[in-house]
Amino acid sequence: MDQARVMEIWNPVSKRSGSGYLIGDDVVLTAHHIVAEVPPRAGVEVRQLDPGGGTDWMSAELVWLPEATASGASPDTDGALLRITAPNWRPPATPAVRFGRVVGKHRLPCVGLGFPDAVTRPGRVRDTMPIRGHVDPLHGMKSRMTTVQVDEGIVPSRSGWRGSSGTGLLCGPHLIAVVTAEKSLAPGVLEAVPVSVLAELPGFERTLYAHGVHFVTEDIDGAPPDPDDEPDYTPIAIPPPSSRHRLRKLLAPTATGTATTLALLALTPSAPGVTWQAGSVLSGVLAGWGTDWFRGPRSAGDGREAAVRRLREAIRAEVGRRRRQLLGNDNKAINVTFVTLPQHGRDADRALPRGDFDGIARYLDALRPQRLVITGGPGSGKTLLAYELVHRLLARRHYNGPVPVPVDLSGWDTGVLFADWFSARLGQEYLGGSETRARDLLASGRVMPVLDGLDEMDAPDGERPRAVAALAELNRFAGPLALTCRMNEYAGLGRAGQRLLDCATVRIERVRPVDGWRFLAERSTDRARLAELENDLCASGTATRAVLSSPWMLTLASLASQTEAGAAKLLSFIGAPASGGRAQEELRATLLEELIPSLCEPDPADRRRRYQAAAVSQWLRLLTASLRVGQTEPADGSGAVMPSRDLAVHTLWPVAGPRSARYAAAAITIACWLPALLFLAVCLHRNHTLPLPGAVLLLLLTPAPLLSAWNARARYVEPRRILFQRLGSRLGWSRILLGATLGGVLMLPLTPVCGPGFALAAGAGSAAVFGFGLALSVRADVDRSHLMAVSIPTALLVTVGAGFLVGRLGDFIGLIAGCGAGAIGLAVGVPAGLRAARRSNGGEPDPDPPGVPTPLSPLRNDVMAGVVSGVVVAMLTLYGTLCVEWLRAPWPLAVLTALACGVAAGPGFVAVTGRQYLGLLLAMRGKLPWRLTAFLRWCHERGLLRSAGTVYQVRHDELLEWLRR
């Protein structure tokens, strides 16, 4: 019980005293008969409980009484509401009151604190006496009154209870009733009127809302208060480790690897060849990696329960970060209410009629089955409520229910079964790639999918085939889940007979002015700065009330009010009428203008370079200039479609115009290849193989940079990625066997023409590059027949040509020719296979591909694929320049040649997305930051952007429209 809310009441008309309970900032709940003779709006006196005795009496007025003719009202309905009007009144800084309704059949302990006659001291000064007992929901069911049996402490005589009328009765944290009188059943039996009964009377809820009381009743089933509702600990947002800290962490692995390499090189036997040096370097790398792995934290176990614990902690940290972003880098949310919408069949049982953000976890606990659909208008807080559900469930001390896992729905290819798609996402993002473990947790009921954005699966203002297919799949899934969707879109699906079955559907209501003002006051660093806004926000017909009615706009207002300039602009709209709409538009524009400057305020915990507000606005306007809300446009003639409201790092080239970035990428490709060709020419010249056959060898290499430059200037390129997880899958091994088949096909015609050694080397190189490249980096739905039909002739042409022209140089040429044939075969055959797949409704990117958990992962994976490919080619080149007779060069030249060839093969051939990204930066030099990915990450952390699968999206459509204007 909060003692600061206990009030003593004095009626000067009837000279009667009583008790009350403060349920708002200035609203007191008491019994009717204490103030029965007081005229409406007449004065009574109240006094706050003060153990020191220093509290003075303050004036109050009567604002609500039950109507005698209220339909269905019991004659014993005895309640009243007072409002404290004293100018020197200061409300206590305590949490908001929670209201409850006792249900079920079990007794429930309760407590109250009043001022009865039994403890009156000389001078008519009343002391306090607690009411400690229990309520029995089975007693007085017909009258709907609450019976309290006092079973602890002093029990005075019947007359001694006078003065305790109006005492607030609490069961745990919930106010459930108001004590009205003692019953004659037995000593210590009191009667109280439930708050839920008062809420049914005309004017009660309306009066509470008018005076700023957040009123939502929660069912209490008779069990003692659950301590798990309270947080165990709160995750603390800490800045990322500094560069010095990261370097210190890498010091031990680097030292171990270097020492191992040097020790093995010191033990080099006589005439070892290049094999010993390469093995020494590889051993050093493995030693450093092993040191770092052993120094890392170890898990407590690999069983199902250990996986659940790791999953719970990972999701709790991730949701805490996302929730803070949605709240404008704060932790305080608006306690918005929602109502349950009946769906006229197949609803979940035990759904409460109303709820709010604070009670969303308890709302879900009561559902049978635990399936929930959250709807609301744009900016109403659907995603935030979903995250609030996850946050409150995982904040419990001993939560043993299914772990809620938030996932964005926009990337789900509904041709994939829900269990397969969700297990892949869960495994790759939270369980270290273990899809088997993810499927086991899903099948055992240990996880609860929280699916966000059903309305974002399809383009607006049209048919919704993906959403319909998603609902059909989710209806086949019998487990617990939560789903968010915009209200109008979900209603349209419902009218078409498509909705989620066996669930509760809730609609988030508009923010009431009193809740909006409480939110602004709680988030403000200087509450007095916004004091003038309260009356205007709560008045009808004002622009501030019309605009500040959604969590999105209230969050913008709270951010703007953090500075003097922002608060002054917000207060300048006081008194502006809502009629006409001009003031509303100006207020919205003002709040959007103040958003970026407020987010650019320096953060002492952030050691990164601070961005200037003007620069951030300019960069975001450039990045979003070609976006159109709710529309899509074709990316190229192949049929691929790029969502126009998405900011994908690998599709940002249109920012620089239709050609600039693409042709800059082609120029970068040529620049990556020129050093390799130059150093190879030097090596060939030193060994007297120029002009022939060295010129022919260089001529055979020229198609690779030309093909790579042509790909780099394409309008749509898919980022490369290397998925080592596929090596353990059936798809991966089948593709490796396909590559081995291609190698065998190449060896058959090459053996009689170029000899068995050349044919074996060419076949092995082609099989390795083609098979592993196809297995590790190519999309799952490529058409194999068309792929092979194009790849085999291309590979044959390259290898046969190399064998005829320069095959006499040895088997190393066969290996190089085979590797090149495999790479060119993939570069030519994969687009043909994808075009064929598109003709049968395939050929689109893999749905939520593994290894792409964030919007920056496509670029990161593309660069990593280039690095891996470059390292392999550099090692082959180093071997050739050190050991092959016609290519041999001294160490410095060999190393430079190997590095140049690695750059040509990796960044210059494989990492096509990386080259387009660099081309964009060069084409937009001075107009975009050079560290564009760091800027996008900063915008995401600050809440300007949100992540939706593999892309960024502007946080809200209104912000996107404002940036475009």
pLDDT the model gives residue 600: 84
CA–CA distance, 544 with 537 (Å, rounded to integer): 6
pLDDT digits (tens, 9 = 90+) for 522-567: 888 777 778 788 788 878 888 998 888 888 888 888 888 888 888 8
The pLDDT, as a whole number, for residue 638 is: 37
Average pLDDT over residues 731-738: 82
Give yes or no for residue 297 having a pLDDT over 60: no
Q: How far apart are CA 56 and CA 444, in angstroms?
A: 61
pLDDT of residue 301: 43
Average pLDDT over residues 374-392: 90
Which pLDDT does position 273 carry in this prediction? 56
Give me 932's structure tokens: 């564009």
- With bands split at pLDDT 50, 70 and 90, how would you rate the model's confidence at 229? very low
Overall average pLDDT of the 707-717 stretch: 80
DSSP codes joined into one string, 208-272: HHHTT----EEEE-SSPP-GGGSBS------PPPPHHHHHHHHHHHHHHHHHHHHHHHHTPPSS-
Distance, in Å, from the CA atom of 920 to the CA atom of 653, rounded to the nearest integer, reads 6
pLDDT class of 171 with cuts at 50, 70, 90: very high
More reliable by pLDDT, 666 or 799: 666
Q: Is the pTM of this model over 0.75?
A: no
Average pLDDT of the segment spanning 35-64: 82
Q: Using the predicted structure, report yes or no on whether residue 11 has a pLDDT greater than 70.
A: yes
Of 27-36, 136-145, 854-863, the range with the highest mean pLDDT is: 27-36
pLDDT tens by residue, 395-435? 887 788 899 999 888 778 788 888 888 887 888 778 766 77
Rounded-to-integer distance, Cα 252 and Cα 942, Å: 35
Question: How far is it, in rounded angstroms, from Cα 503 to Cα 620?
Answer: 40
Q: How far is CA 423 from CA 443, 447, 922, 948, 951, in A?
A: 10, 10, 40, 18, 21
Q: 140: which 2 tokens?
A: 């007085």
pLDDT tens-digit profile of 128-139? 899 999 998 888
Average pLDDT, the chain: 82
In this structure, of 388-392, 664-668, 727-731, the range with the lowest mean pLDDT score is 727-731
More confident residue, 116 or 957: 116
Q: What percent of the chain has pLDDT over 70?
A: 88
For 71-114, what is each residue's pLDDT tens digit? 555 666 789 999 999 988 888 878 889 899 998 888 889 999 99
Q: What is the pLDDT of residue 643?
A: 42
Q: Cis before residue 116, ω within 30 degrees of 0?
A: no
865 has a pLDDT exceeding 90: no
Q: Where are the beta strands (DSSP E) in 115-211?
A: 120-121, 125-126, 129-135, 146-152, 168-171, 174-182, 189-194
Examine the pLDDT at 487 and tell me if it is beyond 60: yes
Q: What is the 8-class DSSP label of residue 947? A: E
pLDDT band, residue 756 (cuts 50/70/90):
confident
504, 371 contact by CB (below 8 A):
yes
Position with higher pLDDT, 228 vs 466: 466
For residues 560-584, give the mean pLDDT: 86
| Segment 211-238 mean pLDDT | 60
Percent of the chain's residues with pLDDT above 90: 19
